[in-house]
Amino acid sequence: MAALPKRIIKETERLISDPVPGITAYPDEANLRAFTVTMNGPDSSPYEKGIFDLELYLPDDYPMCPPKVRFLTKIYHPNIDKLGRICLDVLKDNWSPALQIRTILLSIQALLASPNPDDPLANDVADDWKKDEPKAIEVAKEWTAKYAKAKE
Amino acid sequence: MKVEIVDWQAVASWHWDLKDDSITDELCGICRVAFDGTCPNCKYPGNECPLILGAGCQHNFHLHCILQWLEQDTSKGLCPMCRQVFEFRKDFNTVTKDINSLLMLIDGHKSMRDREVDEEFDSFDDDLRMND
Ligand SMILES: [Zn+2]
Ligand SMILES: [Zn+2]
Ligand SMILES: [Zn+2]
């Protein structure tokens, strides 16, 4: 495997020495481009007190292309589908090499705090959300309590 | 006294000769390496990989870094830092193949943008016709 670019080494060091509040990200020993991520649900959101597992992968052409990020923990959110894929502009067309792993993780955390059912990925969830928001928020809370538990 | 040299290491330091010295202390916004270091594609710094100084905006990059970014369609020809259309200062002694590629990429993105504007106008015309 090609040597890890300096930028990735620097980003990784900073993620570990100066972590983003509520987020941990560690590279896998076997593949330093693959990260195991945990994210705390933002306070006063339906995901509050939940701890979500994600995987993040830096493709070979990173930082020309965005990291690939996916939720592993089941989550009820209009912009996250059944497979954990995330609908977020900075992970697609609005990516720029000025962004980093940490800014991407912060954007995902912000997406948990403010779901956007008008730009949905999970259409059924977005429909529920638009039809009956209080009920959708209840379901999101139930799923959080059920699936996003802290590991013992 | 007799001095015996056991080992020696040659050390050379390298520095861009720029009018504005503060730039060489900056990091390239793409690879996050100082401009006095090489871009990730080069072994040695030098004229093969000059600094590209933003003309429309104040952002600077290694030639190979900005080249690789503008090769992406998703870049839309924009500066990665401020998302303005990227233009650069063209005061080079020698215009290398890579500088030429950069010029061509920037032109390519410009004509893509022009075409998109034309298409918007076309569909606008269509809309008007439909309303007639
Ligand atoms: Zn660079
Ligand atoms: Zn280079
Ligand atoms: Zn700029």
| Average pLDDT value for chain B | 84
Q: With cut-offs at 50, 70 and 90, classify the pLDDT of residue B119.
A: confident
Burial A96-116 (b: 16+ CB within 10 A, else e): bbbbbbbebbbbbbebbeebe
Q: Are strands B51-53 and B60-62 parallel, antiparallel or unpaired?
A: antiparallel
The domain in which residue A64 lies consists of 6-147
A56 domain-assigned: yes
Task: Output the CA B40–ligand 2 centroid distance in Å.
Answer: 6
A1 domain-assigned: no
Q: Is A98's CB within 8 Å of B31's CB? A: no
pLDDT tens sequence across B80-100: 999 999 999 988 888 899 999
Read off the CATH number of the domain in which A127 is found. 3.10.110.10
How distant is the Cα of B77 from the closest Cα of chain A, in angstroms?
A: 11
Give the total number of structural domains in chain A.
1
Element (H, E) at B128: helix B97-131
A137 domain-assigned: yes
Task: Output the CA B46–ligand 3 centroid distance in Å.
Answer: 23
Is this complex's ipTM strictly greater than 0.85? no
Which chain B residues are Cβ-neighbours of A6 within 8 angstroms?
A: 31-33, 40
pLDDT tens sequence across A73-109: 999 999 999 999 999 999 998 999 999 999 999 999 9
Ranges of residues in chain A whose predicted pLDDT is under 50: none
A126 domain-assigned: yes
Which chain A residues are Cβ-neighbours of B31 within 8 angstroms?
A: 5-7, 63
Facing residue for B81 by CB, picked from A10, A63, A98: A98
What distances in angstroms separate CA A62 from CA A4, A34, B39, B66, one per listed residue?
Answer: 11, 12, 14, 13
